[in-house]
A and B are shown apart, each in its own frame.
Chain A
Amino acid sequence: MRKYLSLAGVVLLIVSVAACGTDDSTSVIDGESLSGSELTVYSGRSEELIGSLFADFESATGINLNVRYGDSAELAAQLLEEGNNSPADIFISQDAGSLGAVAESGMLTTLDDEILNLAPSEYQAESGAWVGLTARARVFAYDPVKVTELPDSIDDLLDPKWNGKIGIAPTNASFQAFVTALRQLRGEVAAETWLAGIAANNPVAYEKNSMIVEAINAGEIELGLVNHYYIYEVAEALGGEINVKNGFFAAGDPGNLINVSGAGILNTARNSAGAAELIKYLLSNESQNRFVSDTNEYSILEEVPSPQGLPTFADIGTPVVDLDALKDVRLTQEMLVRVGLL
């Protein structure tokens, strides 16, 4: 037994020594001493989509980033569980809903006007708890060979000719945000009527937006409700051209919802000055241009042009929605359950 105990002791020792190397918490008092300080980032944006900007930020400012990548909603759940003990300084999320949930629990600090003034107010929390970083449009992705007459409105999709040909992702945060917006825009009854109509058209349900685009490309369905950038992602993953295009509904249609990715700073941040620097960096013209060219997302800044080949928000005619309210998807889920889509 002694042999086993000592073996275990060695294992534990190695393990704890290895762990000690990772812990560091430098507190920062004034802006001058930011270089060399540590900043812990919880990032719902994956490394592929933001990692190079983080690296450039590090070399530009000398601030060392400890980035924890994860799923936005799971990181939000983790932050809620950690509460005041959270090691995170800043939370970057892929959707407004996750930011809203963390903000609601009072864990996010109100951002300085210096930051809030950088971006248009419709893409940030009214309370100033978080600010948008990039924007994405809801679109319909379609098979340009089979679909010759494009729908003008989400109501056109209720036509029986679409029976079994539409793909949706009812469990996905982006689809649920769209339904929440629909409830805001048209009211509960009209929203449920539309959902029931879609359900009656036997849509094919997928887990992810990218699976919808792949299914259109494979000829299994003809049209799907997704975010605009998925056709680029899937084309890259499949290594070439795909037979899928983005389409927009008529101006003002709820199907043209704009949602944002964004960032907020924790109340308990040890390096809130560094966190503020990071947000400013990500909202700079240069970073915004890179989001547009690298990930085909829309910039949050009006002066930065749209991704190549895509109309501007003004041309799309996006509906006016309170993004802060998109976090409340409980009623949306109940509605989806009632019509049988969840």
Chain B
Amino acid sequence: MSKTKNAVTPSQELAGGIAVPRMLQISALFVLFLASIPLGYLLLRATASGFAAASAVLLREKTVSTLITTAGLAILVALFSAIIGISSAWLIQRTNLPLPGLFLVLGTLALAVPSYVSTYAWIALIPSFAGFAAAVFILSLTTAPYVLLAALALLRRIDATQEESARALGLTASQVARRVIWPQSRPTIFASLLLVMLYVLSDFGAVSLLRVDTFTRVVHTMYKATFDRSAAAVVALILVLLAAILIYAEYKARGSAVAAKSGLGSIRTTNRIDLGFKKYLAASYLLIIAIASLGVPIYVLITRFVSVAAEINVSNLVSATIATASAALSGASLAMLFAIPLGILAARYSGRLSSYAEFGILLTHALPAVVIGLALVALGSRLGFLYQSLPLLAFSYAVLFLAKAVGLIRTSIARVPRVYDDISRSLGNNNWQTIRKITIPIAAPGVITGFLLVLLTAMKELPATLMLRPTGFDTLAIEIWTQTSISQYGQAAPYALILVLVAAIPTYLLSRPDRAQSSESRENMTL
């Protein structure tokens, strides 16, 4: 599953003979072990009740309709997310759209709104808001910012001279798009769409509120209604299988395009296209998207809050904010710690080990958080004082969001010519020194971006936090859940608003146009 296979350079092929540093091997094995915790748990649970019981769950009629719903939702959301994300990126980066900086920030800020909050907001606005189409709508809006950031970095990277040469050789604009831009964009676009689809597979907040029976919701329903952990595990395994098919399909579809620019020189970008009066049309299009994804949730939160004149419990608000920040910060740090060796391994020493580890963490990414939560409950409750402690919560975040981090680090390392490593070695540095002096500094922007992204996602996490947090440790997401579970939307509003504000910090840092040096790593922005 290694993406670096696409960008094989002659020197990389030669690298086959270079031994993988032991540190990296050990780290990769460790990460592989992490990824296998939830999967191993599922296998144990699924087989606990025997083959007959498992096949009874598998063969029921419901499985087919759930499969169609889940796959259909994933594909449609990927499609709309791609349309919104790519068109927004193109308008912002390549046209004379008014206020492109503002639209970039608005387009990205939607990341700060948890999908369960925006779904609640839409239901509050339109009580009949539910069903498949509604889920496509919400999830497309939720995932579009990831595609936007990836596409934006891509557009910034593609060298204008290639486009100009192609035009000079007589190619039409659409031929340039098909023969120059598309081959370079395909791996990135497919990779981000895969992650959009894996996100849809694992989403619970939106599909449950909108009553769309995806596998994740069915797993939840089975746990809640029958307490039958084996049957739920069997359903979760079908989900894993579906994810595996998607990962494999993406791997095949991505093809072997070369996604690298010729050198490290600065990239010249094309002139912005003059849209004429249509630029206002384009601006209204982006404005409508911003209103739907950002405006509606904030409007509903504020009006609900005002209508009940809810008292703000400042000390609760402060402690929940601190809890959110400390859990997310330690989770994101741990995730990066795990991800760095694997990212290096995947980019520089691609082989069976790194492929397995990567495949494993991608699969884990598609699992409902409740499954990962229960797996860590089963394991953690045997660990004595570590159970329901902050380290274990941070660890669960690291397992949950590892896929985001590894992808980013790998891409940012893979972009740098392998020849640097060779030069370093020829100057007498050993593998470890090379990694320390060359690879890690190069990886730094990707590490920072990955850190911000994991931080952002961990802040919004709910199902695993509910099970694994220290008792009495209430994050903003927990407070929102607590209030909304008894219909106190007004009381939930301050917590939701603070969460959006706090999450806006990493989001803003991610979207900052001046972070040009990390724009490349952002290209493989993962969910």
- Pair from one complex: yes
Chain A residues close to B by CB (< 8 Å): 1, 4, 7-8, 11-12, 14-16, 18-20, 22-23, 40, 46-49, 66-71, 73-74, 76-78, 80-83, 85-87, 98, 101, 171, 173, 176, 204-208, 210-211, 214-215, 218, 220, 230, 233-234, 236-239, 327, 329-330, 332-333, 337, 342
Identify which of B162-170, B247-255, B357-365, B373-381 touches chain A: B373-381
- Whether B490 contacts A237 by the Cβ 8 Å rule is yes
- Whether B209 contacts A207 by the Cβ 8 Å rule is yes
**In the complex, which residues of chain B have a beta carbon less than 8 angstroms from the beta carbon of A330?**
225-226, 228
Q: List 29 A-B contacts (CB under 8 A).
A: A4-B440, A11-B329, A11-B334, A15-B390, A16-B391, A19-B385, A19-B389, A74-B224, A74-B370, A74-B466, A78-B377, A81-B378, A81-B381, A82-B377, A83-B381, A85-B381, A87-B388, A171-B225, A204-B128, A205-B211, A207-B211, A215-B127, A220-B127, A234-B487, A237-B487, A237-B488, A239-B308, A333-B221, A333-B225
3 closest cross-chain pairs (CB), A and B: A19-B389, A73-B224, A85-B381
Identify which of B8-16, B270-278, B478-486 touches chain A: B478-486
Report the bound CA distance from A81 to B370 in whole Å: 12
- Whether A22 contacts B471 by the Cβ 8 Å rule is yes
Report the bound CA distance from A245 to B208 in whole Å: 27
Is B467 part of the contact surface with A, judged by Cβ < 8 Å? yes
- Whether B211 contacts A40 by the Cβ 8 Å rule is no
**In the complex, which residues of chain B have a beta carbon less than 8 angstroms from the beta carbon of A77?**
223-224, 227, 229, 374
Which of B224, B334, B482 counts the most chain A CB atoms within 10 A?
Answer: B224
- Whether A4 contacts B340 by the Cβ 8 Å rule is yes
Query: Which of B370, B436, B471 interacts with A1 by CB under 8 Å?
Result: B436
Query: Which of A70, A73, A85 interacts with B387 by CB under 8 Å?
Result: A85
Instruction: Give the nearest-CB partner of B377 in chain A.
Output: A81
- Whether A237 contacts B391 by the Cβ 8 Å rule is no
Report the bound CA distance from A260 to B373 in whole Å: 28
- Apart from A16-B390, A18-B390, A239-B308, 7 more pairs, CB < 8 Å: A4-B440, A14-B330, A16-B391, A220-B127, A237-B490, A329-B225, A333-B221
**In the complex, which residues of chain B have a beta carbon less than 8 angstroms from the beta carbon of A236?**
308, 487-488
**How far is the CB of A93 from the nearest CB of chain B, in Å?**
12
**In the complex, which residues of chain A have a beta carbon less than 8 angstroms from the beta carbon of B471?**
22, 40, 66-68, 87
Q: Which of B327-382 contact A (CB under 8 A)?
A: 329-330, 333-334, 337, 340, 370, 374, 377-378, 381-382
Report the bound CA distance from A67 to B226 in whole Å: 25
**How far is the CB of B25 from the nearest CB of chain A, in Å?**
16
**In the complex, which residues of chain B have a beta carbon less than 8 angstroms from the beta carbon of A171?**
208, 211, 221, 225
Main secondary structure of the interface of B (DSSP, over half): helix
**In the complex, which residues of chain B have a beta carbon less than 8 angstroms from the beta carbon of A22?**
388-389, 470-473
**In the complex, which residues of chain B have a beta carbon less than 8 angstroms from the beta carbon of A82?**
377-378, 381
Chain B residues close to A by CB (< 8 Å): 60-62, 123-124, 127-128, 130, 208-211, 221, 223-229, 304, 307-309, 326, 329-330, 333-334, 337, 340, 370, 374, 377-378, 381-382, 385-391, 394, 435-436, 440, 466-467, 470-473, 482-483, 485-490
**How far is the CB of A233 from the nearest CB of chain B, in Å?**
5
**How far is the CB of A234 from the nearest CB of chain B, in Å?**
6
**How far is the CB of B260 from the nearest CB of chain A, in Å?**
26
- Whether A19 contacts B390 by the Cβ 8 Å rule is yes
- Whether B470 contacts A176 by the Cβ 8 Å rule is no
Instruction: Give the nearest-CB partner of B306 in chain A.
Output: A239
Report the bound CA distance from A111 to B347 in whole Å: 60
- Whether B472 contacts A66 by the Cβ 8 Å rule is yes
Q: A48-B482, A85-B381 are in contact. Are A15 and B490 (CB under 8 A)?
A: no
Report the bound CA distance from A77 to B230 in whole Å: 12
- Whether B307 contacts A238 by the Cβ 8 Å rule is yes
Q: A46-B486, A83-B381, A220-B128 are in contact. Are A74 and B391 (CB under 8 A)?
A: no
- Whether A211 contacts B123 by the Cβ 8 Å rule is yes
**In the complex, which residues of chain A have a beta carbon less than 8 angstroms from the beta carbon of B473?**
22
**In the complex, which residues of chain A have a beta carbon less than 8 angstroms from the beta carbon of B340?**
4
- Whether A239 contacts B309 by the Cβ 8 Å rule is yes
**In the complex, which residues of chain B have a beta carbon less than 8 angstroms from the beta carbon of A205?**
130, 211
**In the complex, which residues of chain A have a beta carbon less than 8 angstroms from the beta carbon of B390?**
15-16, 18-19
**In the complex, which residues of chain A have a beta carbon less than 8 angstroms from the beta carbon of B485?**
46, 71
